[in-house]
Amino acid sequence: MAIPPPVVAAVRQAWHWQWLQLMGGLGPADTQGNYRRPVAAFSASPELPASAGQPGGHVLIVGRSCPWAHRAWLVWTLRGLGESIELVVVEPDPKAGRWRFAEPFEGATALIDLYRRCGSDPRARATVPVLYDRREQRIVVNESARLIELLNRWPAAAAPDLEPAERAEAIGQWRVRLQDAVNDGVYRCGFARNQAAYDKAEVELFAGFDAMEQALAGGGPWLCGDQLTLADVVLFPTLIRLELVYAPLFGCSRRPLWQFPALWDWRRRFFGLGGVADTCFPEAWRRDYFGALFPLQPSGIVPAGPDLATLVGGCPSKAPP
């Protein structure tokens, strides 16, 4: 039996109202409907701890699906910090909406418990990544931008400097642009409250792709020339998730990445760096994004997606491999 149009209109209106309430819990927005990322609980730029470089004192807590944690995991990997910083991976608990430890950590079973013990605001979210100091029993920092800077200064034999002084200005410029237009940009597309907010974010996202394509095509092989830097590190977690998550779920699909051949080649090259593949978990990404972001995917169905191997192969001229 056909549903009367007034009933359809009423249901749509009620669902839209409920959707806005759910989106408010998922991520805040301004009065124009533009997504605004919340401020991290422990976001102050920290000094290098006196015990930095000594084994057994610090723990990096990450989650597989979080791109902000991924960038910290990458710096930890690329600089070989495993001897002095333990890595702990937390798992999502979709029903409770929190991160949980596979085994009790410092007496905590959930990340929120650790936050509260370390004096976070009761209203603050417990997010990853986190750098934890075992000796002082405190969270050093959980803001990813500040954390990767700290990890880059962390003492380690023969570790590469990902923010050399002579390229600091260029690195900083790229990081600012990437953070707003690309890293946050995909979320501003997916969490937009209305068409105008989405359109603005989507245009800025692909303008960022165009700028990176031009820079890499005219120079490279990395964003700041011939040396890998933090600018590249902050780009990779977003770009490796593009076809797997952000294009189908967040609507970042105007142009596939293979139409940006220099960017495609950059992603392939970064993925080939030692240890990077071990930080990538496409099944977890898709399960956690599609399964947990209920307002964007109410069915909870995880659709089929491309194999990661097809996204890090040689760049085609007209079509993906």
Residue that the structure tokens 């500040």 belong to = 146
CA dist., res. 118 & res. 256, Å (int) = 43
Q: Residue 266's closest CA among 231, 230, 232, 237?
A: 232
84, 105, 165, 245 from 101: Cα distances, Å: 21, 7, 38, 25
Helix axes 230-240, 144-153, angle to 10 degrees: 130
151-194 confidence digits (pLDDT tens): 999 999 999 999 999 999 999 999 999 999 999 999 999 999 99
Does position 257 have pLDDT exceeding 60, yes or no? Answer: yes
Amino acid at 161: D
CATH number of 58-153: 3.40.30.10
Helical segments of 182-258, H only: 185-190, 195-218, 230-240, 247-250
Q: Flag whether pLDDT at 21 surpasses 50.
A: yes
222, β-bridge pairs: 225
Average pLDDT, the chain: 90
Residue 154, both tokens = 């962390």
pLDDT of residue 86: 98
Catalytic center residues: 66, 187
pLDDT of residue 306: 95
Indicate the domain borders of the chain.
Answer: 58-153, 165-311
| Residues 168, 169, 173, 179, Cα dihedral to 10° | 30
Q: What is the pLDDT of residue 45?
A: 79
> Among the listed ranges 8-22, 266-280, 281-295, 307-321, which one has the minimum average pLDDT value?
8-22
**Average pLDDT, integer, range 29-56:** 83
Q: Which residues of 165-185 are buried (b: 16+ CB within 10 A; e: fewer)?
A: eebeeebeebbebbeebbbbb
Distances (CA, A) of 2 to 9, 13, 16, 223: 14, 19, 22, 56
Q: Calculate the dihedral angle through the C-alpha atoms of 320, 180, 207, 218, rounding to the nearest 10 degrees.
A: -80
- State what percent of residues in the chain have pLDDT above 90: 74
Does the structure show a pLDDT above 80 at 7? no
pLDDT digits (tens, 9 = 90+) for 204-243: 999 999 999 999 999 889 999 999 999 999 999 999 999 9
Question: How much is the average pLDDT of 39-67?
Answer: 88
Residue 235's closest CA among 87, 40, 74, 79?
74
Mean pLDDT of 237-258: 97
Please measure the distance between the N-terminal and C-terminal CA atoms of the chain and give it in whole angstroms. Answer: 46
Hey, what are 137's tokens?
């029993």
For residue range 76-115, what is the model confidence (pLDDT) as tens digits?
999 999 999 999 999 999 887 899 999 999 999 999 999 9
- C-beta of residue 186 within 8 angstroms of C-beta of residue 205: yes
- Across the range 3-14, mean pLDDT stands at 69
pLDDT for 97: 82
Query: Parallel, antiparallel, or unpaired for β 98-105 and 108-110?
Result: antiparallel
Residue 320 has a pLDDT of 44
pLDDT band at residue 296, thresholds of 50, 70 and 90? confident
Residues 120-147 pLDDT 10s: 888 788 999 999 999 999 999 999 999 9
pLDDT of residue 319: 46
Residue 205, number of CB atoms within 10 A of its CB: 23
CATH topology of domain 165-311: Glutathione S-transferase Yfyf (Class Pi); Chain A, domain 2 (1.20.1050)
Report residue 226 as tokens. Answer: 């011939």
Question: Full-prediction pTM beyond 0.85?
Answer: yes
Q: What is the mean pLDDT of residues 43-56?
A: 87
Q: What is the pLDDT of residue 41?
A: 63
Does position 268 have pLDDT exceeding 90, yes or no? yes
- Alpha helices by DSSP H, listed for the chain, are 5-26, 67-78, 111-117, 144-153, 168-177, 185-190, 195-218, 230-240, 247-250, 261-271, 282-292, 308-311
* Averaged pLDDT, 39-54: 81
Confidence grade of residue 321 (pLDDT, cut at 50, 70, 90): very low
